Amino acid sequence: MANVVVVGSQWGDEGKGKIVDWLSHRADVVVRFQGGHNAGHTLVIDNVTYKLSLLPSGVVRPGKLSIIGNGVVVDPWALLSEIDGLREQGVEVSPETLKVAENATLILPLHGALDRAREEARGSDKIGTTGRGIGPAYEDKVARRAIRVCDLAEPDALEARVDQLLMHHNALLKGLGAALVDRDELLRQLTELAPRLLPYADSVWQRLHEASRTEKRILFEGAQGAMLDVDHGTYPFVTSSNTHAAQAAVGSGMAAKAAGYVLGITKAYTTRVGSGPFPTEQDNETGQKLGERGNEFGTVTGRRRRCGWFDAVMVRQAIKVGGIDGIALTKLDVLDGFDSLKVCIGYRYQGEEYDFFPAGRDAQAGVEPIYETLDGWTESTCGAQSWAELPATAVKYIRRIEELIETPVALLSTSPERDDTILVRDPFAN
């Protein structure tokens, strides 16, 4: 049986939460390996809605081990609040069912303050961050001044590490005209936090090695999407981590060969939150209809998502760069009732045609989509659990997408409900 890595193939918000939850009953361990609490996953199980940010989606299933890997930046207060919220909904989360990498970087209140101050200073040139401190925390990690989970267990050394951190951050905050961080207050918060967070801390790489050795099935859960990758996305309008499947190994402590099957979650149309290029965006009645029918609001921020037609060029590029073996096509039911549907099959820029998304900022902002028009369908696909229940034109739409992205559909989702999923190929079957 293969381990499975689940990643987004667009700009995030593709419906990874439901698919990971659906797959997790086949898994023994579910791992988050990058990102932070800027990622939002919504699960609907037996008419109960769970909204997750840091916790792996498998946490709502009894008997599964959930792991937050070292590649994640962890806001400990947000994590503990999320745990409390799930407990109120009847989901038991304990140090036996949840492990947090002891070498994971912490997001502190100062990171959010810096994030928001810099966005404000950018004025109209905002990147569109969530303001939750994700980027500044990753910056501190790379600059080797971050506070990590394990540092909370060494109170004698923590003061010196905080001093080093504040030497940098208070200088930046002062330059931006923002309030400085009170050293003693930060130390008090961390001291108070330690006994609540440390019971979850663990050498998760050892846990994963043991799980692999005993042939446990491991599901790696990515956050955001391929086009938000800090190297391969629409830079600088990206997140601060690598979102492709290769990050699953280094972000969890597993060997590079850990991934067996890579599943790319792919929405049947395209959405994006925040600033940045979006070639197929429909800032019109069509985009509004997609947004309303798809309930396109961010799980974490509540921000309205920009909506547009399916971009086969971008998804194909994400598949090639990310090593995606098959896709889970989600939200097909949102397209019910459209007379016709458009799919982007290429770009045009300054008189030239492109079959890939160029890296330059001007080119990304200036490309015009080349569309192919397909027939829509009037019948409902909502809740379909077999191919036989789908309209013929919906099947034709799916098959054309497979041709254009050069990758098969492994799963098809027809509603937010867990069971409204058509299995074509089980990703765990090697």
Which residues are annotated as catalytic? 13, 41
Say which DSSP state 427 is in. T
Which strands, in side-by-side order, build the sheet including 326-330? Answer: 201-202, 98-101, 65-68, 29-32, 218-221, 4-8, 261-267, 326-330, 409-413, 421-423
Q: What is the DSSP string of 356-420?
A: S--SSHHHHHH-EEEEEEEE---S--TT--SGGGS-HHHHHHHHHHHHHHTS-EEEEE-SSBTT-
Spatial neighbors of 175 by CB under 8 A, at least 6 apart, are none
- The runs of H, that is alpha helices, within 203-263 are 204-213, 247-250
Residues in the chain: 430
Return the exposure string of 170-200: e unless at least 16 CB atoms fall within 10 Å of the residue's CB, then b. beebeeeebeebeeeebeeebeebbeebbeb
Q: Are 220 and 35 in contact (CB under 8 A)?
A: no
DSSP-assigned beta bridge partners for residue 49: 44
Task: Reply yes or no: is the peptide bond before residue 155 cis, omega within 30 of 0.
Answer: no
Phi, psi (degrees; rounded to nearest 5) at 49 = -100, 130
C-alpha span between 244 and 231 (Å, rounded)? 10
